[in-house]
């Protein structure tokens, strides 16, 4: 029994990591409908920022997270202004090719700057020691991920569903001309939103390094998992991504525990079934 709870807690924490990692994609791909396969590249950027700050400058771990997010967000805004906004009106295939190219280029740059090897990311002791919560023992990092994920999910759902900013973004995506007609500065709005997506990618990357490692192939390694989260959750729905990510983490952990022979494939089976029966994902009713 305690084994089951422990597995479930670890699985949920892993799901939360997937969620934090995929928020940025949910914003750029889901809300803005830009097929952003370069999401992993922004995440990698945040990861390297965190590693350099932590190992090179001795910046405390918690402080590296906002810096990584802001830095990646800034790079996102600059790229959006320079090139990406020209890609929005293009057909989906061109968006795919463009963003894949961007991700390859980012990987090559990382290879030149940091070399092909794994980057060490040693978390502080309070995050790696196990904490006894009575029913379950879990490491500080996993607790941290769960809490962080809950806060981020709440804040973002509120931002996009309950604020004027969120209403403007949704309006601009659904009908750009009408939005401009009523005085929304869509170009600027998209730059800010894309920057926000990139910042969350950077944050997710920085959080993921301690768990998933970091090298120049990072932009593509986890792309499939992230696309799964966004696809199952329903593009454009932060809440949907949240439910999908946590469910995937927990289900994956349970099946690996009870039927290790096939457990690893179960989530992919779920993806196929979801795509057949709910092609628009969990939050399908919200999709336009």
Partner 1 sequence: MSPSNPLTGTAGRRSVLLGAAAAAAAPLARPAIAQERKLVVGVVLPLSGTFADQGRNNEDGIKVFQKIHGTKVGNITVETVTRDDQGPGSGDLSRRMTQELIQRSRAEIILGYSFTPNALSAASLLTEAKRPGIIINAATSIITERSPYFARVSMTLPQLAASLGTWAAKNGVKTVYTIVSDYGPGLDAETWFTKAFEAGGGKVIGGARTPVAGMEYSPFLQRAVEARPDGLFSFSPGGDVSVAFMKQTKERNIVGSGIKLMVTGDVVDDNLVPAMGDALDGVVSALHYQVELDNAENKRFLEAFREMSGPNAMPSYRTVQAYDGMALIYHALQQTGGKTDAESIMNAIKGARLNSPRGPIMIDPATRDIVQNIYIRRGQRKDGRWANIAFETIEGVKDPAKA
253 versus 270: smaller Cβ distance to partner 1: 253
Q: Is 7 in the site for partner 1 (CB under 8 A)?
A: yes
Helix axes 2-25 and 39-51, enclosed angle (nearest 10): 110
DSSP 109-172: HHHHHH-SSPPP----HHHHSEEE-SS-EEEHHHHHHHHHHHHHHHHHHHHHHHSHHHHHHHHH
Please, what is the minimum distance in Å from the beta carbon of residue 128 to partner 1?
A: 7
Residue of 157, 114, 132, 193 lying closest to 5 (CA atoms): 132
Q: How far is the CB of 105 from partner 1 (least distance, A)?
A: 15
Pick 159 or 212: Cβ nearer partner 1: 212
The full DSSP string for 79-105 is HIIIIIHHHTTS-HHHHHHHHHHHHHH
Report the residue number, 211 or 278, with the smaller CB distance to partner 1. 211
Cβ nearer to partner 1, comparing 166 with 213: 213
- x/- letters, 240..279, toward partner 1 (CB under 8 A): ---------x--xxx-xx--xx-xx---------------
Window of 3-11, 80-88, 189-197, 273-281 that interacts with partner 1 by CB under 8 A: 3-11
Our finding on whether 101 is near partner 1 (CB under 8 A) is no
Q: What letter would DSSP give residue 19? A: H
Nearer to partner 1, 6 or 161 (CB): 6
Report the relative pairing of strands 137-139 and 130-132 from DSSP bridges.
Answer: antiparallel
If one asks whether residue 163 binds partner 1 (CB under 8 A), the answer comes out as: no
């Amino acid at each position: 029994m305690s084994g089951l709870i422990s597995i479930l807690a670890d699985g949920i924490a892993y799901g939360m990591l997937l969620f934090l990692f995929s928020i940025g994609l949910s914003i750029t791909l889901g809300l803005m409908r830009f097929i952003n396969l370069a999401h992993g590249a922004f995440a990698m950027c945040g990861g390297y920022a965190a590693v350099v700050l932590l190992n090179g400058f001795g910046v405390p771990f918690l402080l590296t997270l906002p810096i990584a997010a802001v830095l990646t967000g800034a790079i996102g805004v600059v790229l959006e202004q320079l090139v990406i906004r020209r890609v929005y009106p293009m057909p989906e295939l061109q968006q795919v090719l463009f963003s894949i190219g961007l991700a390859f280029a980012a990987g090559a740059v990382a290879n030149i700057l940091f070399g092909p090897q794994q980057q060490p990311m040693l978390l502080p002791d309070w995050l790696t020691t196990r904490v006894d919560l009575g029913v379950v023992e879990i490491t500080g990092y996993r607790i941290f991920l769960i809490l962080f994920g809950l806060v981020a999910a709440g804040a973002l759902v509120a931002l996009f569903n309950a604020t004027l900013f969120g209403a403007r973004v949704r309006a601009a995506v659904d009908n750009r001309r009408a939005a401009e007609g009523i005085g929304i500065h869509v170009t600027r709005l998209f730059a800010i939103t894309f920057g926000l997506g990139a910042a969350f990618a950077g944050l997710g990357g920085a959080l993921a390094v301690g768990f998933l490692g970091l090298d120049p192939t990072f932009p593509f390694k986890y792309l499939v998992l992230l696309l799964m989260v966004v696809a199952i959750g329903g593009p454009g729905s932060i809440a949907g991504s949240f439910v999908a990510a946590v469910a995937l983490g927990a289900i994956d952990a349970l099946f690996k525990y009870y039927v290790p022979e096939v457990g690893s494939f179960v989530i992919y089976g779920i993806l196929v079934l979801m795509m057949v029966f709910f092609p628009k994902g969990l939050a399908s009713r919200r999709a336009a």
